[in-house]
Structure 1
Amino acid sequence: MMKTNAGRFFEDYAVGQVIRHAVPRTVSGGERALYHALYPARHALYSSDEFARMSGLGASPVDDLLAFHVVFGKTVPDVSLNAVANLGYAECRFLKPVHAGDTLRSVSEVIGLKQNSNGKTGVVYVRTTGLNQHDAPVLDFVRWVMVRKRDVDAPAPETVVPDLAQVVAAERLAIPAGLDFTKYDFTLAGEAHRWGDYAVGEQIDHVDGVTIEEAEHMIATRLWQNTAKVHFDATNREDGKRLIYGGHIISMARALSFNGLANAQMIAGINAGAHANPCFAGDTVRAWSQVLDKAETAAPGVGALRLRLVATKGGAPFALRGDDGKYLPQVLLDLDYWALMPT
C-alpha cells in the first residue's frame, strides 16, 4: 500500500469541501528575529515591546505578514502542492495580533472551481481561516490557485466563481483591542508623516532595492513550511528555475515601503492581490505605493490608509500596465491593502 501523498489535483476538489490542515505551528521569538533577518523590516510596533506598550498593546506582536505566511504555509500541502501558480487574494482581514508563544493552525473551505480552456489545469478558490490555541480566528482570506489535473480526460466540474468584495469595507476592519496612537513617538518610529499628511492619489517611490538570493528564498519558504513543488524542485518548470514564493515578494515589498510609510504600522486587511509575473533569484526588487483611500477608525489617534503596493524588478516607478491593459513584464506584485497609522 502506498503511504506517501502526491497531493491533491484539480479533480480532487469539490465546492463546499472543508479541509483541516495538518501540523499546527507555535510561533517563537526566534521566528520573529529570523523574519527581520530575511527582510529589511523596521516598523517600530513589531520591533519594540516598549513601543507596542506605548501604543496600547501588551507587547510587540509578530509582523502581520509572518502570521499570514504561517497560516498560508499550513494550506500548501492540501491546496497548492501541485499548483502552477498562486494567482490572487481577496477579503483578507487580520482579526487578532499574534504573539510569540501562540500556536496557529489553518482550516480552508473550497468556495469555487473553474477548469481552464486547455483542459490541463483549473482554478481552485479557497477561504482560509487561521486560528490560535484558543480557537480564536487571527486572520482569514480568500485565495485562488491554478492547479494541475491528474487526468486531463477527467470531466470538468460545474464552474463556480465566487462573488468576492473588491474592497474590505473600512468598518469591517478589526482594530486590535487597546490600540491607541495618541502618545505615538514619531522620532522613535523613524518618520514624521502621519495619516493626515497623505492624500488620495499620492504616489510614493520607496527608492531602495533588494536583490533576491536563492538561499534566502529557500530559508523563507522552509521557515513557513511551504511545500509547493515549484519553489523547491527545479525540474518542475520547463525553464529549470525555482519560482520565488510570492509571499517572499510581499514581505520584501512591505519592508521596502518603510521608506516613505514608516508609520503605516499594522496591516488590517488585504483587499486584493496579484502575483503579476514570476520572480527568480537574481532579480532586484523595488517598490512603490499609491494612496487609494483613507478612513477614520474608532481607536484613539488611529486612522486607516488604503494603499496599493507594487513590487517591480526594474523599470520606472509608477508604471503598472501597458496599453493592452495587462501588467507590464517588470511588475511582480500588485497588492491593495489597509494599514493603520497615527492621525
Structure 2
Amino acid sequence: MENKVSSQEFTTDLIVEQRWTDERLDFREKVSSPFLELDSRLTDRIWIPDLYFVNEKQSAFREVSTPNKMLHLYRNGSVVYKARMLVTASCPMDLHNYPMDRQLCSLFIQSFGFSTKSLMFHWSATPLHTRSLIQLSHFTLLTTHQTLCDGLTEDGNFTCLQVDFYLQRHLSFYLLQVYMPSSLVVVMSWLSFWVHPGAVSGRTSLGILTVLTITKQSTMAISSLPKVSYIKAVDVWMAVCLFFVFAAFLQYAVLCVTARAQRHKNDVTSCLVEHPSCLGNHRVEARLGLHNASTLRRQRQDLENDEQITGVSVDQIDRVSRVVFPAVFLLFVLVYFSYFNFDSF
C-alpha cells in the first residue's frame, strides 16, 4: 500500500475473494470429487459478479507469470473466485495538521449493473487480512474497518461495500528534513548577537543569508503538497521561523539607530562637560546641530531625561536579545508541538 499526498490518492495490492452459489453449476450427481480446480480462462464462460471500485483512478490485474486468478467449483454449485489486482483510488485528505496528521482512506466496492433486487454484497466473517509486516514509506497502517455503504443513486439502489484504512504519518522524516534544519537556521541567526556591532558586513551578511535560507526551506517543505486554501501546521512553523530570522536581522537596524543616538549624546555631553568653550565655537555647534547656549542646555536636559527613562545601550540590546530570542522560540516550540499533536479521526 502506498499513499501519495500530492495527488491525494493511494495504491494498494489486493487479492479479492468472492463466494456465491450458482445452482446451474451443481454437479453432485455427475462427479464424486468435492470440488473442481478450474483454469482461470474459464472465468469467461461462467457468471461472475460485476463488482467495480467506485473511487478507482487506475487498476490492473496481476499477470506475472500467468493471470493471478483462481476458480474453484464445489459440488453444490458454490463458486470461489480469487483475483489479484493493483488498485489506485482517490483519497481526499485533510492537511490542517500536516505533517502530524492522520488520514482516512476508503475503498468502495459496488455492483456496476445489478441493483439490490438482483445482487447483494456481504462481508464474510473475517473479511480483511493484512500482512503483519506491512511497511509504508510515509504512513503507519493503524487499523482497518469494513462496513456496508448501500445507498440510492441516480441510477437506482446498488449494493456497496466499504473498507476504511486508518493511517498515521511518520514524523521522523519531517523532523530530520524540515523541523531540525529550520531550527538550526533560526539558531544561526542569533549568532549575530555575539558579533561586534561595528562589523557591519558580517552581521548584515549573516542576516540576509538566514532569511534567504529559511525562505528556500519553506518553499521546499510545501513543494510536494497539493495547493490548498487553508493553513497547514508546517505553514505555521515556517512562517514563525521566518519571523524570528527577520526579527534578528531587524534587531541590528534598531541597534544601529541606538548607537547613532548614543554617539550624538556623547558629543553633546563632551562639549558641555569637558570643553565648555565649544559654546563659542561655531564650527562645533554646527556639527552638533546647536545654535545657542539655551538650545545646548535644553538638549542636555532632554538627554539626561532619556537616560533616566530608558537607560538602554547597544551592549544591553545584544545581551537582552541573547536571552529573549531563544526563550520565546523555545516557548513557541512547546506550544506548537502541544497544539499540533496527532489528531484523532
TM-score category, normalised to shorter length: under 0.3
**Higher relative contact order, chain-length normalized (CA < 8 Å, sep 6+):** 1
Give TM-score scaled by structure 2 length. 0.19
Higher helix share: 2
Q: TM-score, normalised by structure 1?
A: 0.19
When you count strand as a share of all residues, which structure comes out higher?
Answer: 1
Which structure has the larger Rg? Answer: 2
